[in-house]
């Protein structure tokens, strides 16, 4: 990549889906993230952002709303070979801006990339302690349902107020052995 690449982040379009599918598939095969079927990507396309470097696909991330107070950064992947150029950080920043826009004060992520998320302002949480019940929503369809060793991380957007009329979430369906 050039020394100062022009990185842009935008909402994903239908024509991005094959790139997103391939990119997530690559990293899922390395055990870095959960695989996403193409149908899932189409169905959730409004969650996704795409990064471009000089107009070329460079990565993707999604902001998925879990409840009125919390949204998950998921499906985050920078195209192989162009890591460490600030692309991941810009994708997370786009998710954060979207959460602010919608009025959601807590960001959450399941990840192996603790240091990266710390650089984005997230902090590690203790999985054995009380977590928001909705953060387990993906676990039931995950291949690592039992014996998961991903880290849970949160970022509180202190300038975003809690929604005033927030209903109680449904009880958590927590994978066995986690707590």
Ligand X SMILES: CC(C)(COP(=O)(O)OP(=O)(O)OC[C@H]1O[C@@H](n2cnc3c(N)ncnc32)[C@H](O)[C@@H]1OP(=O)(O)O)[C@@H](O)C(=O)NCCC(=O)NCCS
- Nearer of residues 112 and 170 to ligand X, judged by Cβ: 112
- Nearest Cα residue to 62 out of 15, 109, 104, 102: 109
Residue 46 DSSP symbol: G
Which x/- pattern, by CB under 6 A, does the window 83-112 give for ligand X? xxxxxxx-------------------x-x-
Question: Is residue 115 at the binding interface for ligand X, with CB under 6 A as the rule?
Answer: yes
Which of 116, 134, 135, 155 is close enough to bind ligand X by CB under 6 A?
116
Q: Is 123 exposed, middle or buried (0-12, 13-18, 19+ CB in 10 A)?
A: exposed
- Nearer of residues 83 and 166 to ligand X, judged by Cβ: 83
- Nearer of residues 86 and 170 to ligand X, judged by Cβ: 86
The CA distance from 179 to 172, in Å, is 11
- The answer to whether the beta carbons of residues 49 and 62 sit under 8 Å apart is yes
Report the Cα 49 to chain-centroid distance in Å: 10
Question: Is residue 33 at the binding interface for ligand X, with CB under 6 A as the rule?
Answer: yes
Task: Give the range of 62-70, 113-121, 134-142, 154-162 binding ligand X by CB under 6 A.
Answer: 113-121
Binding-site size, ligand X (CB under 6 A) = 19
Question: Is residue 122 at the binding interface for ligand X, with CB under 6 A as the rule?
Answer: no
Tell me which residue has its CB nearest to ligand X: 88
DSSP per position, 94-160: HHHHHHHHHT--EEEEEES-HHHHHHTT-EE--TTS---GGGGTTGGG-TTSSS--PEEEEEE-TTS
- Nearer of residues 74 and 134 to ligand X, judged by Cβ: 74
- Return the residue matching tokens 């899932």: 40
Which of 5, 19, 25, 32 is close enough to bind ligand X by CB under 6 A?
32
Binding site for ligand X (CB under 6 A): 27, 32-33, 76-78, 83-89, 109, 111, 113, 115-116, 119
């Amino acid at each position: 990549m050039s020394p100062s690449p022009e990185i842009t982040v935008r909402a994903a379009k239908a024509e991005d889906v094959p790139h997103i599918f391939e990119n997530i598939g690559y990293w899922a095969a390395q055990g870095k993230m959960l695989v996403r079927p193409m149908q899932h990507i189409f169905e959730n396309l409004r969650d996704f952002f795409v990064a471009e470097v000089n107009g070329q696909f460079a990565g993707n991330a999604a902001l998925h709303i879990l409840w009125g107070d919390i949204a998950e950064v998921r499906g985050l992947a920078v195209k192989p070979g162009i890591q460490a150029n600030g692309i991941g950080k810009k994708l997370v920043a786009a998710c954060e801006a979207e959460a602010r826009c919608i009025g959601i004060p807590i960001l959450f992520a399941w990840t192996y990339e603790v240091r990266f998320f710390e650089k984005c302002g997230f902090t590690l949480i203790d999985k054995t302690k009380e977590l928001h019940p909705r953060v387990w929503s993906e676990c039931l369809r995950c291949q690592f349902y039992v014996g998961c060793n991903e880290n849970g991380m949160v970022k509180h957007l202190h300038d975003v107020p809690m929604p005033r009329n927030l209903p109680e979430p449904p009880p958590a369906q927590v994978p066995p052995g986690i707590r």
